[in-house]
Structure 1
């Protein structure tokens, strides 16, 4: 019997001047553990006159995780953080009660041809920490636990798994793993995962229970064991999940909360522009049409 409960295909979504592939939320599966939102950015070839420019916008009730495969993004936020995110690094911003940030092509790349490719992820905060103070953490690639087993390279970008722990400060039990194979290889996750679990195929293919699965798919497992599957050669997958929360999470625009009142308060605050601003930035993303469909 297959351990795959649901297959989610990437859907195109517009985030301003940039198209992405939306993976979560999905109508039949809003979250996987605490993971509430995943966008696959690119791969996008950008000419010398094309740049990523996402003006300041707010978040509440979550941590954002940005992980790039190619390209660079300048992250600035209302805490005063000003960091260029490069491939292999983990950019982890926790909004808590509220934070504002912008994402742009770095100045030194704005007049050159460039690529941009990566994942942007939202991880909901547990109810008792939804209103915590905002914080920011940035990990270089060398700080991320990595190891090799049977020609498969593992990286643990966030959380705990396989007896290892990422330095990224997560606020509930979770994991976000990268597996890269050079040769065809059978994988048995065993009891190394917990909670709800899903697998995203970036490139290559995997086989499970006689079925072939190719890129741009998320496979939702019946349980965290994920059973056994075969990675084809030159395949990259991401496994993510963790303990689900007992309460539902509501999502409106960039706001995630267990109580709609928190979202309404954040909407009012953004309309009135009373969030702490990003130093040196004056433009902003307006609140979407109140009648617009929610995520």
Structure 2
């Protein structure tokens, strides 16, 4: 048996300057999908030559993790812990904000000069109270660093967690998630039929990036977040056209969530403390 579709939530347009942005989470009818907090889908769009690039200059975070999927284009990362990288198409940036840092997500100079296609997904994942103040960390993975599991008419690019293929080959993603999170992108060709892991008791995150697919006979709508039943340990997806899915699962934390801007904690007092610590310079600074 496989999980079934309970509800689908459309991404809301919320463009940031000239950056096309859709946000399915949070949205009308769904505040979070514990432990998943937030998803921005930027693009797809094509930037002209001599563009201004992405607008995400230095800003702070505390209490959660960001996972950024670069589907097209390039993205540079710089943070107050001294981490720096430029990740290209097919790559992923995984940042643990933990106790707090400042980072910037901008377009490299080459992209601003030459332009080109851009499409990026950024997912925020909550941390439990016991890990809110863990040391910040960052991992940048290029596309070649991410294992690709080839299935009949499908490909799975595994970022974290475990995946057992249809031939019973077991693969583990290169990121060792602090909370046992499983994340992957799934690329389907017409006629594909694929069973994805969904441990009982875990919440599944399924977002339709593009294309046409279905779960248990229910057509999935493009640019929608899909809420599934939780009574079975797999999700069977089928494609009637090429489709790309952001897929994952995680154990719900079941803790109170207090969030404001770039901080996600458990209480309002912890949010106030985060602001005070940031203003006092305790998150560090990005060196120009």
Tell me whether the two structures share a fold, i.e. TM-score over 0.5: yes
2: distance between equivalents of 1:193 and 1:91?
Answer: 28
Aligned to 1:238: 246
Secondary structure of 1:28's counterpart equals coil
1:35 aligns with 2:36: yes
Aligned to 1:249: 257
Within the candidate set 151, 154, 172, 1:152 is matched to: 154
CA offsets 1:262-294 (integer angstroms, 9 cap, x no match): 2111223344555311111xxxxxxxxxxxxxx
Are the counterparts in 1 of residues 47 and 116 from structure 2 also a CA contact under 8 Å? yes
Structure-2 change in CA distance of 1:272 and 1:49 (3 Å): farther
CA drift of 1:193 comes to: 7.1
Aligned to 1:279: 287
Secondary structure of 1:87's counterpart equals coil
Aligned to 1:112: 114
Secondary structure of 1:183's counterpart equals coil
Aligned to 2:75: 73
Write out aligned runs for 1:1-295 (5 A): 3-15=4-16, 18-50=19-51, 51-162=53-164, 163-189=170-196, 195-223=202-230, 225=233, 227-280=235-288
Structure-2 change in CA distance of 1:157 and 1:2 (3 Å): closer
CA drift of 1:226 comes to: 5.2
Stretches of structure 1 lacking an aligned partner (at least 5 in a row): 281-295
Are the counterparts in 2 of residues 196 and 244 from structure 1 also a CA contact under 8 Å? yes
CA offsets 1:45-79 (integer angstroms, 9 cap, x no match): 22223221311000001111111111111111001
CA drift of 1:261 comes to: 1.8
2: distance between equivalents of 1:279 and 1:272?
Answer: 17
Stretches of structure 2 lacking an aligned partner (at least 5 in a row): 165-169
Secondary structure of 1:38's counterpart equals strand
Aligned length: 280
CA drift of 1:173 comes to: 2.1
Structure-2 change in CA distance of 1:231 and 1:105 (3 Å): same
Are the counterparts in 2 of residues 33 and 241 from structure 1 also a CA contact under 8 Å? no
User: When the two structures are superposed, what TM-score results if normalisation uses the length of structure 1?
Assistant: 0.86
1: distance between equivalents of 2:56 and 2:248?
Answer: 26
2: distance between equivalents of 1:120 and 1:148?
Answer: 25
Aligned to 1:293: none
1: distance between equivalents of 2:199 and 2:257?
Answer: 27
